[in-house]
Amino acid sequence: MPEPESFLDRIVRIFRQKAAARVRQADDPAEAIDVLIGEQLTAIANARADLTRVASAEKRLEMLVAEFDQRRAKYDEAIRAAAPDDARARTDARRSLECERNAAEGRAHGAEVSKQRAALAETIEDMRAQYDRLRMRREATNALATAARASVQSQESMTPLGPEGADRERFLDAARESLAQLRARAAALADLRDSGSLDAVGAGEFDDRQRIPDVEVDRKLAELRG
């Protein structure tokens, strides 16, 4: 008969079961994908912040180009209104040319920034699409892992491999051992009764008659059959 489980053994078994459950939870493939999803969301947020900064810088550049255009137009207007011998007309013409060059340079840089901004926006869309794929894979992996764990637990419950199956197997062994002992005890008591080693319960308390011997039983059968 297997020894009964002690309190310490039970504590150790429960601790092992909880530790195994935590290990299975840590190895959950869906949680691994959750980490990737979190990193992807962080990357998308950072890219959007960069896109906002690029758009802001592009807007400031456009405003500066517009300022140079306004200044050039002002200088050109002053040149048209000045007298032919006005000395300031030459200075205004030089300033007008500087503003025109600055505006042209700003437009060239603005066009490049606009291309980079469009490329960044497209990259963010690709990152968003990848995030959606990760979400789908996460749900699919979670469903597959859940089904696999359920299958494993069901199979373990039917075998001695799992903790529930091991407990059930131990209880069944104890029940079989107890049944075998009860059957052996019943057979031993029956043999003792048949041999006369044990009297019927209470027989010796009411009379002193001894058990009828087998010879008399045989004689009685012979008389009745004769």
User: Would you say the C-alpha torsion 107, 109, 112, 117 has a positive or negative sign?
Assistant: negative
Residue of 72, 122, 119, 116 lying closest to 93 (CA atoms): 72
Q: How many domains does the chain have?
A: 2
68 lies in the same domain as 172: no
132 lies in the same domain as 177: no
39 lies in the same domain as 150: yes
On whether residue 141 sits in a domain, the answer given is yes
111 lies in the same domain as 13: yes
- Kindly report, residue by residue over 149-201, the tens digit of the pLDDT: 787 777 766 665 555 556 666 766 777 788 888 888 877 777 777 766 655 55
**C-alpha to C-alpha distances, 224 to 109, 215, 217, nearest whole angstrom:** 133, 14, 11
Name the pLDDT band for 23 (thresholds 50, 70, 90).
very low
User: The domain containing residue 44 runs over which residues?
Assistant: 1-157
On whether residue 46 sits in a domain, the answer given is yes
On whether residue 146 sits in a domain, the answer given is yes
Range of lowest pLDDT (44-48, 75-79, 207-211): 207-211
The C-alpha atoms of residue 58 and residue 64 are separated, in whole angstroms, by 10
48 lies in the same domain as 128: yes
174 lies in the same domain as 152: no
- Kindly report, residue by residue over 176-186, the tens digit of the pLDDT: 788 888 888 87
Name the pLDDT band for 52 (thresholds 50, 70, 90).
very high
The token pair that represents 196 in the structure block:
């006369």
Q: What does the DSSP assignment read for 71-102?
A: HHHHHHHHHHHS-TT-THHHHHHHHHHHHHHH
165 lies in the same domain as 149: no
On whether residue 144 sits in a domain, the answer given is yes
On whether residue 75 sits in a domain, the answer given is yes
